[in-house]
Every structure is written in structure tokens, then in C-alpha cells.
Amino acid sequence: MIPLARPTLPKLNSMQKKMQDIFKSGMLTNAKYVAEFEKEAAKFLGVKNTVAVSSGTAALTLVLKCLQLKGEVILPSFTFTSGASALLWCGLTPVFADIDPETFNIDPNSIEKKITKKTSAILATHVFGNPCEVKKIEKIAKKHNLKVIYDAAHAFGSTYKNKSVFNYGDASMVSFTPTKVFTTAEGGLVVVKDKNLVKTLKLGRNNGDSFNRNEEFLGITARMNEFSAILGIEGLKVLKKNLERRMRIINLYKKELNNISGISFQQISPKNFSVYKDFTILVNEKKFGISRDNLLKELLKRKIQTKTYFYPPLHQKKICSKLPKSFLPNTNYISSHIMSLPLYSHMPEKYVKQVCSVIKKFYAKK
Ligand SMILES: Cc1ncc(COP(=O)(O)O)c(C=O)c1O
């Protein structure tokens, strides 16, 4: 099987000394490696304040709580479940905006149309690592006095005009599960501008407890553990090299599939850099010859794993069935025509050729 994704890990022996250290001390949580990881992650991203947590969903839930948001939050429907579930957990109402059919990111024009008196924030996803239109979003937020949170689960290392995407918005969060470009096994990170929020988030990840067992507010258990932090510290040291390898694979995919009518790619502005959490193609059945669903079946028959991120989109899911109906034509079209191809930073280039030769074969049959 050619897998969709595999984690690209640091060398095992690079972690050995720190691992021995925690086996000796017995300090598995609430200790120095999480603090070191937070510092190193901030350095890598060129930001000041980071808080490491146990998952991307925990990061998002804590951010929403600590920003004390109320009412409605505008987000794309073309994103991962936790966008909606974290909002619903916090008693907020998700309001879905449509996406741009080329970048797959939330469309600022659609955001403006969804703003009401109850709107308190915009939650925008850098889809597959592609930076959102941060300047336009900032302008809308300023005009309507809204908070901006970026779901940067996919975007660790992405830049908007040479600056890390984590420099924008009131807060951003990341996920470090093994399918991401950089992993701590499970884990997440919050990046915030306001220094005071760091303290609240650190309390929040510890049940609201400042270690005196008289909780300041309702938090959750969402601490990152020391094993994950060590994986993160060592992983950061090899991330730049891994991203370079990843870009070579992306360029090869683009070269192989460039002239196939009916196959198109997510558009990344030349001013920006995407870490490509996924390499996603759009299949136009009329031009290509077979549908997205049939193409993925044919690839699977040949032991090539693909995924339909994000299908179904959030507004079509059971968890959102009680929300008012949304009219999202671009989201509906993109989510039913996209597929993510196998991609990981140490993937052999021959796999790209293998995947593309199957796609080309079906095109030739047209
Ligand atoms: C866009 C997006 N946001 C949030 C998350 C949630 O992250 P986690 O799985 O670490 O909770 C994911 C997970 O893949 C994601 O893709």
C-alpha cells in the first residue's frame, strides 16, 4: 500500500538523552521539556507567546473559552470537525461562510455577508497550509470589532508574504497529530498576541488550577506531556530539511499532472508559502473522463490510499443538523470533487510517479 501519510520523525538516538533524563527523574508532565518546546516553537515561528497543549482541538476549545467569546462565530464549512465541535462545546453558534474555489480558503466577501449583531469572531482555517487572505480578514474584523482566530492546524511553517502566518489574528492554533508536517504524536499549540492570555491559557490547560486546588475558572486537562515535547524539540531541528524534501515531492506531482485536462490544484499565491499538509487535486469529471469517486476507487484497487478532505463539509454533518441551512455552492462543489494524494516528507519519489501513472492511464482512456 502507498499510504496517504506517514510521520517524518527525528532520529531515535537524537531523543535518547532527554528520554533517559525523564525516565530517571520520573517527571512525565508539568516539567522542563514542555517549556523548552514552547520556547523553540516560538523561535521557529518568529512569535513571542506559545502554549503547548494535548491536541489541536483542546487548543481551539481553550482559545475560544479564554477569549470569552459570545454569540456567533463565522467559519468555513470546508474544514475539520473540531471547528464546529469546539464552538458548540463552548456554547457558541457556528455560522458558515463559503470558500474561494481556487484557494479553498474562507472567502472574505462571504464573511462580510454573514456578519450580524451577534457575531463575535471569525475562525478561519489555513486549509492544507495555504495562508488565508489575512489582510482582508483583519480589515473586516477591525471594521466590525471582531476577534480573529486562525485554525492553523495544517500551517506550521507556512508564511504570508515571508512572515509566519502565526503573526496574524488574536490567536492561532496548531495540531501535531502524525498526519501533520510536524508531529509530537498527539499535541497542539496556541499562539497569541496578548501576553495576559498566556497565563489564562496555561491555567486553562490545567483545569483552571494554579496548583493550589482552588480553580480560578472552568478549565480542562489539556497539558502536553514531556515525551511529546521531546519529540517536538528534536523534530523542530529537522523540520526545515523535511519541508524542503516535501516541496520537491509537490513540484514533482505538479510537473507530472500539470497538463491533464480536468485535474487542477489548490492555488497558492506566489507571495505566500504553504507547507502542503496535503496535496489535493480537483477532479472535473467532464474534462477528465471519470469522477473523483471512481478515480479514488481505481487508485485503491492498486493499493494507493487517498482521502477526501473535507467531505462531507461541516454544514452537512449530523453535529450541525440543528443549525439553520447554509447556501455554500463553492464548498459543496469543492468538497465533492477534491481528493488528497499520498504525501509525506520522506516519501520516495517513485511513489509519485506510480500514483500519477494510474491517473494518467484513466485520462488516456477517456
Ligand atoms: C483544520 C484542523 N483543525 C483542527 C484539527 C484538530 O486537531 P487534533 O486532531 O489535534 O485535535 C485538525 C485535525 O486534523 C484539523 O485538520
One domain, residues 204 and 273: no
Q: Are strands 72-76 and 93-97 parallel, antiparallel or unpaired?
A: parallel
* pLDDT mean values, one per 10 residues, the chain (366 residues): 98 98 96 98 97 98 97 98 97 98 98 98 98 98 98 98 97 98 98 95 95 91 98 98 98 96 97 98 96 97 97 97 97 98 97 97 79
> Taking the CB of residue 241, how many other CB atoms lie within 10 A of it?
11
Residue in 52, 71, 239 with CA at minimum distance from that of residue 147: 71
In a domain, 6, yes or no: no
Q: What is the per-residue pLDDT across 311-340, written as a single tens digit (0 to 9) for each?
A: 999 999 999 999 999 999 999 999 999 999
2 part of a folded domain? no
**Which of 81, 82, 85, 182 to probe ligand 1 with, by most ligand atoms within 8 A of CB?**
82
pLDDT score for 364: 75
Task: Give the count of domains, the chain.
Answer: 2
**Counting Cβ atoms within 10 Å, is residue 157 exposed (0-12), middle (13-18) or buried (19+)?**
buried
Q: Is residue 203 one of the residues assigned to a domain?
A: yes
C-alpha of residue 184 to centroid of ligand 1, in Å: 13
Q: Give the ranges where 90-215 is alpha helix by DSSP (H).
A: 108-114, 134-144, 195-204
Same domain, 184 and 259: no
Atom of ligand 1 nearest to the CA of 79: 1
Q: How far is the CA of 81 from the centre of ligand 1 (A)?
A: 8
The answer to whether residues 194 and 208 belong to one domain is yes
pLDDT tens, residue by residue, 20-73: 999 999 999 999 999 999 999 999 999 999 999 999 999 999 999 999 999 999
Instruction: Write out the three cell numbers for 89.
Output: 462545546
Pocket of ligand 1 (CB under 6 A): 55-57, 79-80, 82, 125, 151, 153-154, 175, 177, 188
Q: How many angstroms is it from 182 CA to the middle of ligand 1?
A: 13
Measured distance CA(33)–CA(3) in Å, rounded? 32
Domain that holds residue 294: 239-364
DSSP character at residue 261: T
Give the span between the Cα atoms of 350 and 131, in whole angstroms.
29
**Atom 7 of ligand 1, residue of closest alpha carbon:** 56
Query: Residue 232, exposed/middle/buried by CB under 10 A (0-12, 13-18, 19+)?
Result: buried
- 224 C-alpha to ligand 1 centroid (Å): 15
Distance from C-alpha of 319 to C-alpha of 334, rounded to nearest angstrom? 21
Whether residue 259 is found in the same domain as residue 148: no
Domain boundary among 200, 235, 270: 235
